[in-house]
Amino acid sequence: MNDQRHAHTKAMRKRREQLLGKAYHLFYDDPVHIVRGEGVFLYDADGKKYLDVYNNVPHVGHCHPHVARAVSEQLQTLNTHTRYLHETVLDYAEKLTARFPDGLDITMFACTGTEANELAMRLARAKTGATGMIVTDHAYHGNSWAVSQITTAEHSREKRGDNIATVPAPDTYRGLYADDSQAAEKYAEHVYAAIDTLALNGHRPAAFIVDTIFTNEGLPTVPATYLAKAVEIVHQAGGLFVADEVQPGFGRLGTNFWGFESHGVVPDITTLGKPMGNGYPVSAVVTTTEIIEAFQQDDHYFNTFGGTPVACAAALAVLEVIEQEDLQTNARKTGDYLLHGLQQLKDTYEIVGDVRGSGLFIGIDLVRDRDTREPATNQARKVVNLLKDRGVLIGSTGRYENVLKIRPPMVFSTENADMLLQRLDEVLKENLGSE
Ligand code: PLP
């Protein structure tokens, strides 16, 4: 960065802090000032090009022309709300629910993943008459007051209501039952304990909610039968299962369109967000008629900006691009290619403890020691910053922030994968320090 640019960035940061306050965080030690995006690339104010390996919201690629056109045309025609009849809203709901197992036929619209999860909590309470929520102990589900209660990664136990009980994230690499062939059963058993904890506090479980790729938990390799067993226990106790598909949904995992499908479970409620409108704010809850029947007995739902004709035009265009460009297949093929390349890096560099994931959702677990699997948190931070300097934007996740998170737009190609692998190879060669 030249001196002039450095001074400008510094001034912008100061202005931002004055105007937005200190509660907002920026990525990177030297934050980037992005001004344009196209496909898998972002460009900063100096025209420097970055490969975007981080952003899943521009699901079909930054500023995809088909989505931009659909939004623009609808915006120039009409934008109201869901209290008027509108074909596009219905067309979208029909096309979306066709992607779900039979029975999950109803779509309710909101604007953010948080709102979708809050609505899911309300639906579960209405259907079960219960108030308890079961969630993993390092989850992210959103930022409203109610939803931050189940965002256990950020809301400490002391700040949570006694109707929230946690279970350990089903981590087979670093966790209670790492490398244990009985991990599925053992992790699932914790759901019984959570139900007991709720009972001690006078609650029955309304729902068990998980992000079906466990992003915030560090993208662990989940034992195959874990979720089905855990959900069975919740159902036996009268609770529902909510699949939060905000991260893995819309074909990202390559093998399946939804994350829950890869666990062989059918949710009672599903929540969608981030990638749904390629950046246009739209989210949804997809559930059953039976659950809505229970909810509407003494409640109703309206969300001013949720599911407007423009929001649905954006969402419809996203589904069309996924189909026309066969992006789920691309996620599978490019993801497999990338996983193979990353395995080779693992064979070369001691710091790469584990490589895991599916499709275009991959985690690289960096460790200080292969045997103890001690998380290499500081090194992960350095890798993220060094990659940025080399024109690759990536993030990290997990309880120790040591898992590099690969989650690019779905148009990511094998050529893009090669660029990532090459830059990663360069960075891992550097002295990343031992602390
Ligand atoms: N659920 C999951 C799994 C998420 O990762 C997020 C956001 O990162 C949300 C819900 C909340 O979505 P939003 O930020 O749109 O409210």
Q: Quick one: pLDDT at residue 382?
A: 97
CA distance 351 to 417: 20
CA distance 244 to 56: 15
Is 6 a residue whose pLDDT tops 90? no
* Centroid of ligand 1 to alpha carbon of 140 (angstroms): 7
Query: Probe ligand 1: pick from 24, 212, 247, max atoms within 8 Å of CB?
Result: 247
* Centroid of ligand 1 to alpha carbon of 190 (angstroms): 25
Tokens of 170: 């089903």
* Centroid of ligand 1 to alpha carbon of 297 (angstroms): 29
**Which residue has its alpha carbon closest to ligand 1 atom 13?**
113
Q: CB within 8 A of 23, min separation 6: which ones?
A: none
Q: Quick one: pLDDT at residue 431?
A: 85
Q: CB within 8 A of 196, min separation 6: which ones?
A: none
Tokens of 180: 């244990």
* Centroid of ligand 1 to alpha carbon of 325 (angstroms): 26
Q: Quick one: pLDDT at residue 2?
A: 74
Atom from ligand 1 closest to the CA of residue 216: 5
Q: Tell me what the mean pLDDT of segment 415-426 comes to.
A: 98
* Centroid of ligand 1 to alpha carbon of 247 (angstroms): 7
Residue 225, SS3?
A: coil
Task: Decide which of 319 and 6 is more confident.
Answer: 319
In this structure, the residues whose C-beta lies within 6 A of any atom of ligand 1 are 112-114, 117, 140-143, 211, 215, 244, 246-247, 273-274
Tokens of 141: 């589900």
Q: Tell me what the mean pLDDT of segment 108-132 comes to.
A: 98
Atom from ligand 1 closest to the CA of residue 281: 15
Q: Tell me what the mean pLDDT of segment 3-8 comes to.
A: 84
* Centroid of ligand 1 to alpha carbon of 188 (angstroms): 24
Tokens of 347: 């064979």
Please identify which residue in the block is written with the tokens 């300097």: 389
Q: Are strands 240-244 and 269-272 parallel, antiparallel or unpaired?
A: parallel
* Centroid of ligand 1 to alpha carbon of 276 (angstroms): 12
| Closest by Cα among 158, 178, 271, 270 to 222 | 178
**Which residue has its alpha carbon closest to ligand 1 atom 7?**
142
**Across all residues in the chain, what is the average pLDDT?**
97
pLDDT-based confidence at residue 337 (cuts at 50, 70, 90): very high
pLDDT-based confidence at residue 1 (cuts at 50, 70, 90): low
Atom from ligand 1 closest to the CA of residue 211: 3
CA distance 419 to 424: 8
Q: What percent of the chain has pLDDT over 70?
A: 100
Is 159 a residue whose pLDDT tops 90? no
Please identify which residue in the block is written with the tokens 């893995």: 248
Atom from ligand 1 closest to the CA of residue 113: 12
Q: Quick one: pLDDT at residue 435?
A: 78
* Centroid of ligand 1 to alpha carbon of 193 (angstroms): 27
| Closest by Cα among 181, 252, 160 to 211 | 252
Residue 34, SS3?
A: strand
Is 319 a residue whose pLDDT tops 80? yes
Query: Probe ligand 1: pick from 25, 115, 119, 140, max atoms within 8 Å of CB?
Result: 140
Q: Quick one: pLDDT at residue 245?
A: 98
Q: Tell me what the mean pLDDT of segment 225-234 comes to.
A: 98
The DSSP symbol for 119 reads: H
Region of poorest pLDDT, from 131-135, 156-160, 248-252: 156-160
Residue 9, SS3?
A: helix
Q: What's the pTM value of the predicted model, to 2 decimals?
A: 0.97
Residue 364, SS3?
A: strand
| Closest by Cα among 251, 291, 241, 295 to 271 | 241
Query: Probe ligand 1: pick from 215, 217, 246, max atoms within 8 Å of CB?
Result: 246
Is 3 a residue whose pLDDT tops 90? no
* Centroid of ligand 1 to alpha carbon of 273 (angstroms): 7
**Which residue has its alpha carbon closest to ligand 1 atom 2?**
141
| C-alpha distances in Å from residue 261, one per residue of 107, 241, 284 | 19, 13, 18
pLDDT-based confidence at residue 154 (cuts at 50, 70, 90): confident
* Centroid of ligand 1 to alpha carbon of 271 (angstroms): 10
The residues pairing with 197 across neighbouring beta strands, listed in sequence order, are: none
